[in-house]
Amino acid sequence: MADLSFTHSQDFDYEHNPTWRIFRIMSEFVDGFSFLARIQRSVTFFGSARLKEDHPYYQQARALAERLAQRGYTVVTGGGPGIMQAANQGATEAGGESIGLNIQLPMEQRINRYVKEGMSFSFFFSRKVMLNFSAEAFIFFPGGYGTLDELFELLTLVQTGKHERTVPIVMVGVAYWEPLTRWLESELLDKLQTISADDLKIWTLTDDIDEAVRIVETGVETQTQQWIKQKGRSRKTVDDKLKQATRPMDSTEQ
């Protein structure tokens, strides 16, 4: 067991002591899931932080978030610039709820001005868990390593049963995403058989905002009806989301 004894508080390294850091990690998870429990009927947007306000994808994300906010959805993002700001802007301009789950990075201000309510995280991995279980639907716009990382983690969660198959995952930007999806089909499915055909049906690829809205609404309604049937209520509690995040994998997955 770690030795927590020390004579004076100024002699204790609160920032780098491993045991103390574990407490900070635990605190982020407790605060994060408590924060998520207040967010219902929500859609999380992912995408590049580097795209400027005049970029077509920025304007498309802003318009889609506005449409969803007008229909009563809470818009959740990572709270940063680029696509995240676009989605928060669209939600705010529509008078909807605009949430940001921010990461604290040195020498960089990440929170955008359109976030109405937010939470800051010190650790990437705890923030990723919250983003992965923050919503009933997920929208992916073109991005870099971070966006791809979030996409493949979410696809894995659905594939292994951590997320329901009914959760909508919409990839907006056919020109950007189609080469990747073709590669997944030709290499992973056809050549190596490292995924199944159903694993290519987890997402929907589109450029049509109307279609994206329909997919979200259909998927969220399906999940709501399933939840009412299972639990007798439509809202998820903090315990519900925690159980979802920590449920075992499907028996068919390695």
**Structural domain includes residue 125:** yes
Q: In the numeric block, which tokens belong to residue 65?
A: 């978030």
Q: Which structural domain, as residue segments, surrounds residue 119? A: 40-232
Task: Look at residue 65 and tell me if it is in a domain.
Answer: yes
Band of pLDDT at residue 54, cut at 50, 70 and 90: very high
Angle between helices 18-36 and 238-246 (to 10 degrees): 120
Residue type, 177: W
Q: Into how many domains does the chain fold?
A: 1
On the CB side of 149, how many CA atoms lie within 13 Å of its CA?
A: 10
Task: Grade residue 80 by pLDDT with cuts at 50, 70 and 90.
Answer: very high
The mean pLDDT of 170-195, rounded to a whole number, is 98
pLDDT at 253: 55
CATH code at position 158: 3.40.50.450
pLDDT exceeds cutoff 50 at 7: no
Question: Tokens for 98?
Answer: 């605009």
What are the tokens at 233? 């209520």
**141 occurs within a structural domain:** yes
| 46 in any annotated domain | yes
Structure-block tokens of residue 86: 């676009």
CA 226 and chain centroid, separation = 21
Rounded (to 5) percent helix, strand, coil in the chain: 50, 15, 35
Task: For residue 55, tell me if it sits in a domain.
Answer: yes
Percent above pLDDT 90 for the chain? 59
Sign of CA dihedral 224, 36, 105, 94: positive
pTM of the model: 0.87
Q: Higher-confidence residue: 236 or 212?
A: 212
Tell whether 34 is covered by a domain. Answer: no
H or E stretch at 98: strand 98-103
User: 20-47 pLDDT, tens per residue?
Assistant: 778 888 899 888 888 888 888 999 999 9
Per the domain annotation, does 12 fall within a domain?
no
- The answer to the question of residue 254 being in a domain is no
DSSP secondary structure letters along 165-193: TTS-EEEE-HHHHHHHHHHIIIIIIIIS-
Encode pLDDT of 88-145 as tens digits. Answer: 999 999 999 999 999 876 655 578 999 999 998 988 888 888 888 878 999 999 999 9
User: Average pLDDT, whole number, for the chain?
Assistant: 88
